[in-house]
Chain A
Amino acid sequence: MRVITKIGEWFDHRLQLAAPIREAAEHPVPRNTASWFYVFGSAALTVFLLQLVTGILLALIYVPSGGEAWSSLQALNHGVTIGWFIRAMHGWGSNFMVAIVLIHMAQVFLFGAHKYPRELTWIIGVFLLLMTLGMAFTGQVMRFDQDAYWGLGIGASIASRVPIVGPAVVKLMLGGPIIAGATLSRFFALHVFVIPGMLIAFVGLHVLMVLKLGINEWPMPGRTVKRATYEAQYHALTKSEGAPFVPYAIWKDMFFAAFVVLAIAACAYYFGPFGPTGQPDPTIIQTAPKPDYFFLWLYALLSLLPPSLETPFLLIGPPLVIVGLILLPFLSGEGEKSWKRRPIAVVTVLMIAITLGTFTRLAQFTPWSPRMSAWSGDPVPDQYIHGTTALERQGALVFQVKQCRNCHSLGNIGGQRGPALDSVAVRLTQDQLIRQVIQGGGNMPAYGNNLSPAETTALVAFLETLHPATQSPARDAARDLVLSESKPKSATQP
């Protein structure tokens, strides 16, 4: 024991780090900040360190080459002992990291920690969020499979829309004229060197400022922040009811950090690694690329925005959000901290969470995408064929063969791009059906060029049978009259 103390003293005589470390560890924090609400920052740091470790382990095997990345991932999954688990840890760690950073941000905002004098801590936090998302996106590219390949195409298509410099930005991003080996190499450099380097520096600053300025005290309704008096009040608070950070508050951080690491390991163990999906071979087009979980909301947004709004939204939206987040502590740098007195802040967080959550949920079953195999895989349900005439059956065949099912469902089977057609005859008259099929409109292609008159007649005859037994199909009374006048002898009863 004495030897260890001696060795320790020898080092500290030269390093002189023990005193500042002890001072940092034992700095007084307000007692009520030793709360389970205050554990997300340290948890994010823990997951970041875990990502560094698993990332370095993956780099022992992974080859960032367009020709070999995919097979090196296969080797990690199947050939290298525990390789699948390390990949799974890194993938799940990424999801946990984004989630924890978002929770941390919401908590900090709701507790008013972005207010004076912690504005810069918040701003650096905003950059840390952007870097975390940057790591998530570049990491998806590292998993160089079909999703990564087409995801890069989506990134390039978005970047290309920047006025004037768009095409140059695309070539800079891809490292050449197409998505290829150079693209993967430069995303590797970003994912492994550039962004992590910046992350380490910014995380250091972020933590340093928490130490220098003190952790945000538990917000009390009515205890408002004023620039002139805040710091004196805070110091008085830490003096009167402060406690040393170690061990008074840190044990909760430690428990939660260990819990998060175990949760990541459990997810990795039970759910396994993400992909890789098919090879990054652009000639295999039987694929429906999807982004990773935390970009699904963007995928939904890009499907649902009107075409004319898309480019402005993509180019103006993100800078606006980032500038807004950076300006936030200057716009509301003083005043109430407690969420109990900040209803707009609470509603804003809820709105953002609900919006992102809804878009994410939508993107998980992509109702806007045609179901490419529905026309050949989903038969017309029996009840719609029962007791139909030959013409109507012919129409049902046309309905299948012309891929109507890819966008329209019958009996809840088929695509959801267009409306379900189970009761279309109630909504549209015969004339309207013919017009809609031939001319399209309302986001439906026109089929006039691809249907013969006989096919159209059969198809519309079939569509006219699609109504509930208790409801009669829509009809145009005026047209009935015209028909009855031109053919006085035929029956006109509907």
Chain B
Amino acid sequence: MTKQKILIADDHAMIREGIKILLKKKKEYEVIGEAVNGLDAVEKFKNLNPDLVILDISMPELSGMEAAKEILNIDPAALIIILSMYDDEDYIRLCLEIGVKSYVVKSESSEELVDAVKNVLAGESYYSSRVQQVIVKNYTSSAKKNKKEQLVKLTSRELEVVKLISEGLTSHEIAKKLFISSRTVETHRSNLLSKADAKNSMELLRKLSDLNIF
């Protein structure tokens, strides 16, 4: 049986050793190279032609994400697992956008990494349980937001008024600027407050800003 070749890139020797010990227990894998930074990882990928690359997210010279980008540029079918200290939404999203197949948080149990290696080599994507939680939470909150967003529909005039409110103008000043009466501005303002379910201008702005409406 030919063993599947794995390249490990982490600037910490301890972590590289840990991963090697972990993978040695499985007969089907062979660690064929170790890289100490992002640039090194890209070079070794070119030379060693591994089946899978495990990249630490924060490395000197070239970060894990930048190295992943380079590697996928060279071979769009390359299989990459990102190993990270952060269970942060932005990091996870960016990695998915780049096209890595798996994101594993370092502090999770080591079985997660072994599972990730197995799944990714089988052609699947793999997200550790912590990562899955983050993705789900993000999805539900943005779904909620979308739902709310649909409920708040502003007319173009109301949008104009909100914009001027955000600049700190008083009703009187807004009226002058838009060539309408102060009373009309007040009407727009109270409509806006009730549409956004806000008690005052500041809350209105905050809510509309939350919904990306203005």
Partners in one complex: no
Q: Which residue numbers of A lie inside 8 Å of B, CB to CB?
A: none
Report B's interface with A, CB cutoff 8 A: none
